[in-house]
Chain A
Amino acid sequence: MTGDRAPEPGDVAVVACAQTAHRRRTDDLSEVEMLMPVLHEVLESTGLTTADIGFTCSGSSDYLAGRPFSFTMALDGVGAWPPIAESHVEMDGAWALYEAWVKILAGEADTALVYAYGTSSSGSVRDVLTRQLDPYYVAPLWPDAVALAALQAQALLDAGHADEPALAAVAARSRQAALGNPHAQLRGARPQGEYLVRPLRTGDCPPIGDGAVAVVLAAGDRARDLCERPAWIRGMDHRAEAHSLGVRDLTDSPSTRLAAEHAGAFERPVDTAELHAPFTSQEVVLRRALRLDDSVDVNPSGGALAANPVMATGLVRVADAAARVHRGDSRRALAHATSGPCLQQNLVAVLEGDARA
């Protein structure tokens, strides 16, 4: 594998993004039908066709689709003919973005199409997610995703890092911000509601919904040709933690902090952060781990509390952060994605506009 010219690190950018209007359910659409308009939109905005793209990578889960090899159907929507260089992660689309970014850094492609989709409405997603847990000792007990998040929230309250009004404020701020986001599912104020699993109330939890997202990456001059104001990925890293909740400090997210360090997030302050925090309490954990103060605009899109198409939500954070850079609303933004119970695995990307902007 020699001869190809690789770009310098930091010289790869998000040049286009598109996403669905996330909805409570999409019974009227197959996954391909949900995805296709998004793929068309993101390609049209760059003037590229599938054949122009150097590498394609996607993220999704068979467990949401309820069928093996569900991603093969989505490939029909891409139009993989003539054949394309393509790969898939059984993870949130943010990790597909990471794989594509590495591919470009290796000099094997100068553009990439990355997409992700999820239909959380097909089953009871909080129960489906229990299948992610240790299959011998934990999964047989079916501790659902809300219950585990509540465990984390209670630990946070016990440690004095937040109280219930503070959690409610996160919920209110997120859904207020979502008023400006045409893709969001919950737009505008919602009552905090009853306890779903104490101390989490309905308002502390994400909506259940379906959606898809796609972004285009490009390197160097190609990025400048395709986009007036590219969102340069200055750094990206992801880290895992132990799986067992019993050996983790749930009030902290050391893997987020480590990923942020390696992504260069702490070298200079960011003005915007899109955090993948499906539960209000998790935003508190992430803000602390990332040392974000009140000067940072956190989740101006409304975040996962306003729309949570599982498997796509993390990539939506990158897309929303990149879109702000594209519009000139942000000079330096942080995008974060998470996977697994109680923030087990975390990814951080740092996006910047050109210095001249």
Chain B
Amino acid sequence: MPKEPVAVVGIGQTRHTAARRDVSLAGLVREAARRALDDAELTWADVDAVVIGKAPDFFEGVMMPELYLADALGAVGKPLLRVHTAGSVGGSTALVAANLVAARVRRTVLTVAFEKQSESNAMWGLSLPVPFQQPLLAGAGGFFAPHVRAYMRRSGAPAAIGSLVAYKDRRNALKNPYAHLHEHDITLEKVQASPMLWDPIRYSETCPSSDGACAMVLTDRAGAARAPRPPAWVHGGAMRSEPTLFAGKDCVSPRAGKDCAADVYRQAGVTDPRRQIDAVEMYVPFSWYEPMWLENLGFAAEGEGWKLTEAGVTELDGDLPVNMSGGVLSTNPIGASGMIRFAEAALQVRGQAGEHQVPGARTALGHAYGGGSQFFSMWLVGTEPPAT
């Protein structure tokens, strides 16, 4: 029996910000969920199952918070599943929800991801000393900066590429009312003059720490036929994992990322991603990850990704827009960040991205990664239902 096609018919997110002191955890997730249901013109009663994801429970100090959130998410009497796959979790959560529909186990699924980082300090929360483990040093930046330097050395990319990415993403965020950072006075010079945090990563090339939630309503063919607005159809989705550190690991372009993209493209019948995909929303927590992922995902040959960035190809009005929403560089509630990428891809092909809409986008890739560049989740969505 072929899989049931999966459609995104509702998308909601909070206005991401440094600290949502006006809402509880329950209030935060419910706000995003409510908006997704409103977008789909559905009620809580229409939801068959809830799949929720977030990054480490230590961030809010609540163990398995889905138990406490069951009521707020309308999950009483329903199946409630909690996913945790590090930074890729928002994407993985959406894929687990999509599988429920694809397998015809559920018909309409609400999927939610969140992080309320103002409840703690994420950087140090990630840096607990663990005996016999390589220390993460001062947060994720300390872990990833050497990999960025390795990329620069390998590709010969000019030192300014990172600042170009940050300048673009922060300007894209000005067009997205839900983005956390709205730096109206941003200039390239300001990015380049910002303090060096983890050489070569500067302050303005780093993601913020945000409070936020994102939610989507996924449904089957019959549900999509009743949807009030155009759905986004899932054409491919995959997860891949590899160990954190091992001899022979390519930290710059991990094989798990390549394999994950290849799986998604195979499912969707994509043979030339650069030509066949209209917009890409990828997980770029540090500016340099844009050229690095462009190569890892097959949009550029090895060592050539930075040239797309430099030439303006990834600008909102470029040939291959990347991170139209402003990306993780402008908004980062960690557990939700992957789902925000997936949701932005869906918004684009639904034609509902507002000021940051890519005109005529028909196929878009959503991408997330996590851990030590080891967990990957991606989906490809399109305006047309998949051929069955």
Q: Which A residues have a C-beta under 8 Å from some C-beta of B?
A: 1-6, 8, 30, 56, 61-63, 66-69, 71-73, 75-76, 79-91, 95, 98-99, 102-103, 105-108, 128-129, 131-136, 139, 237-244, 254-255, 258, 339-341, 344-345
Contacts and interface: CB of A to CB of B under 8 A. Distances in A.
Interface string B123-140: 001101010110000000
Contacts of B374: 72, 75
Contact of B84 (A71, A85, A106, A239): A71
B130 A67 contact: yes
Given A1-B102, A5-B1, A107-B3, A88 B76 contact: no
A71 B77 CA distance: 29
Contacts of A85: 238-241, 263
Contacts of B388: 2
Interface residues of B, number: 77
Given A1-B234, A6-B1, A102-B100, A91 B68 contact: no
B96 A239 contact: no
B160 to A, nearest CB: 33
7 contacts: A68-B56, A72-B86, A81-B243, A102-B100, A107-B3, A107-B102, A241-B76
B63 A67 contact: no
Contact of B267 (A1, A69, A98, A345): A1
A91 B82 contact: yes
B64 A339 contact: yes
B242 interface: yes
B196 interface: no
Interface string B66-86: 111111000111111111111
A76 B132 CA distance: 14
B237 A89 contact: no
B111 to A, nearest CB: 13
Contacts of B132: 30
B67 to A, nearest CB: 4
B79 A80 contact: no
A134 B68 CA distance: 5
Contacts of A240: 67, 70, 75-80
B337 interface: no
B373 to A, nearest CB: 11
A310 to B, nearest CB: 11
Given A2-B2, A240-B79, A341 B67 contact: yes
A243 B68 CA distance: 5
A132 B2 contact: no
Nearest to A136: B24
A88 B377 CA distance: 12
B63 A80 contact: no
Given A135-B68, A340-B67, A98 B81 contact: yes
A94 to B, nearest CB: 11
Interface string B1-30: 111011000000000000000001100000
Q: Which 7 A-B pairs have the closest CB atoms?
A: A68-B56, A83-B256, A105-B103, A106-B103, A86-B241, A131-B63, A90-B84
